[in-house]
Amino acid sequence: MSKKKVHLFKETKLAELIAGDRKLLQLLPRFGIGLGFGDRSIEEVCRMNNVSADLFLILCEIYVDSGFKPDPDELKRIDMSGLLPYLRASHQYYLDERFPHLEEHLQRIIEACGPKYGPMLSHFYEEYKKEVMRHIKFYEEEVVFPYIEALLKGQHTDSYRIDEFEHNHTNIQDVLDDMMNILLKYLPGDILPKERIEISLDIMELSDDLNRHSVIEDHILIPYVESLENALP
């Protein structure tokens, strides 16, 4: 486990921040920050990309320290306009890149399992995928986010309130962990072991990522939307 601590200051060079914790690299595309940032500081790079450095740092903090919970008072001082685009970009990354990647590996394992175990594994994954799509795509992207966007435009709707938010990521992570246990512990050992190790490493990474993603939604997005709701006339 690499738990090298990074100190998160705006004056730190972006490259140093990433050298301290490589997980942070995956945040850049979600913020629309391109590569080639040279030796610029976090603050400079954020300014060049129209990203709030405070928001960027607080999300980095969540990725660096699994126990970190942002301070609600501090959140009130942060420009949140980049939050929704960030979350949408994360969703897109999960749905368009991570899950298809996982599926590709899994498909080979399913084929190698033959008729005895293949269909049930395939069924297990398909059900899981449906659940992921239902939550991320059909719920968050199509119900919650449009609601927030309407709020931001000052539009008042009675159809939804953020306190109804479904915290469904736990379930999404549980099944992902189950998938890893099945692949490592319970499928017969001789079926594509290399592939299974590789996919398990990917699953651990994704599970970690989703875990931070739900911290962001629960501890940043929800308080933010609550404050928007309270500001309505």
Partner 1 sequence: MRNRVIICEASEIIANGLAEVIDSMAQFDVVARIESPEHLNEKITASDANLAIINPLLLGYQNKEFINQLGKEFPNLAIIALETSYLDHSILSPYSGVIEITDTRSKIISKMNEFSQSEATKKDDVELSKREVDVLVAVAKGMMNKEIADLMNISIHTVISHRKNITRKTGIKSVSGLTVYALLNNLIDESDLL
Helices (H), the chain: 14-20, 27-30, 42-48, 53-64, 72-76, 83-93, 99-132, 145-152, 169-181, 193-216, 222-231
Candidate residues 120, 152, 197, 204; the one interacting with partner 1 per rule CB under 8 A: 120
Site string for partner 1, 4-43 (x = CB under 8 A): ----------------------------------------
Instruction: Name which position in 114, 119, 146, 154 contacts partner 1 (CB under 8 A).
Output: 119
For partner 1, the closer of residues 36 and 67 by Cβ is 67
In angstroms, the first-to-last Cα distance of the chain is 50
Q: At residue 13, what are phi and psi to the nearest 5 degrees?
A: -70, 140
Q: Which of 18, 52, 103, 117 binds partner 1 (CB under 8 A)?
A: 117
Q: Which stretch binds partner 1 (CB under 8 A): 34-42, 119-127, 200-208, 217-225?
A: 119-127
* Min CB(40)–partner 1 separation in Å: 31
How long is the chain? 233
Would you count residue 121 as binding partner 1 (CB under 8 A)? Answer: yes
> CA-to-CA distance for 177 and 207, rounded, in angstroms?
7
Q: Per CB under 8 A, does 96 bind partner 1?
A: no
Which position among 92, 168, 171, 207 is part of the footprint of partner 1 (CB under 8 A)? 171
Which listed residue (71, 154, 186, 193) binds partner 1 by CB under 8 A? Answer: 186
Binding partner 1 (rule: CB under 8 A), the pick from 8, 33, 179, 206 is 179
Q: Distance between CA atoms of 94 and 92, rounded to whole angstroms?
A: 5
| Signed CA dihedral, 135, 137, 143, 149: sign only | positive
> Is the Cβ of residue 188 or residue 233 nearer to partner 1 in the bound state?
188
153 near partner 1, judged by CB under 8 A: no
Tell me if 17 sits within 8 A of 6, measured CB to CB. Answer: yes
DSSP code per residue over 40-61: -BHHHHHHHTT--HHHHHHHHH
Q: Which residue has the tokens 């309407």?
A: 150
Binding site for partner 1 (CB under 8 A): 1, 3, 67, 117, 119-121, 124, 127-128, 171, 174-175, 177-179, 181-182, 185-187
